[in-house]
Amino acid sequence: MKLLVYFSYTGHTKYIAEIIKQNINCDVIRLEPVISYSNDYNKVVNDEQNQESSDKIPEIKDINIDLDLYDTIIIGTPVWWYRSAPVIRAFLKKYDLSNKIIIPYATNAGWLGKTFNEIKSLCSNSKVVNEFNIVFTSDYNKNELVTPIETIKNWINNI
């Protein structure tokens, strides 16, 4: 069985999660921090950028699902400061994904950085494959894809 786990702040990663769910049979979990992020985008940018060097991650809400039921975990993350979002890092540190197939996708405005290498490092006892970078325009208020939707659907068909 497949499980899609994602975090989305601006909605881009959620948008892709919805497309994945429409095209493959999988359960879906949206990760949430215990303390919600501000609705003020600029405040979140400033707060998180200031915390980035400390590698601080938020506490996340429990997912209340038996991960042993899944052999494949699709992980969707926005890219924050050239790496996976802190909520995704919290999930990967909190839950044991050993011996799972991990298929990550990242949404960003063109600055992937070390996102997939970091996921591989945090999932060292898993097989990380078929990672996919999905680029949107830099206007976070819009769901304007730069990556062609056909390319995304081709990737989904290979999951």
pLDDT at 44: 78
Check residue 53 and give its pLDDT. Answer: 55
* pTM for the full predicted model: 0.93
Write the pLDDT tens digit of every residue in 106-134: 999 988 999 999 999 999 999 999 999 99
Describe the crossing of helices 12-23 and 149-157 by its angle, rounded to 10 degrees: 50
CATH topology of domain 2-157: Rossmann fold (3.40.50)
Q: What's the mean pLDDT in 40-68? A: 80
The yes-or-no verdict on residue 40 having pLDDT over 90 is no
Q: What is the pLDDT of residues 138-159, one digit of tens each?
A: 877 777 999 999 999 999 999 9
Please state, in angstroms and rounded to a whole number, the distance separating the CA atoms of residues 8 and 31: 8
114 token code pair: 């070390």
Residues written for the chain: 159
Q: In the 8-state DSSP scheme, what is residue 81?
A: T
- Mean pLDDT over each residue of the chain, to the nearest integer: 92
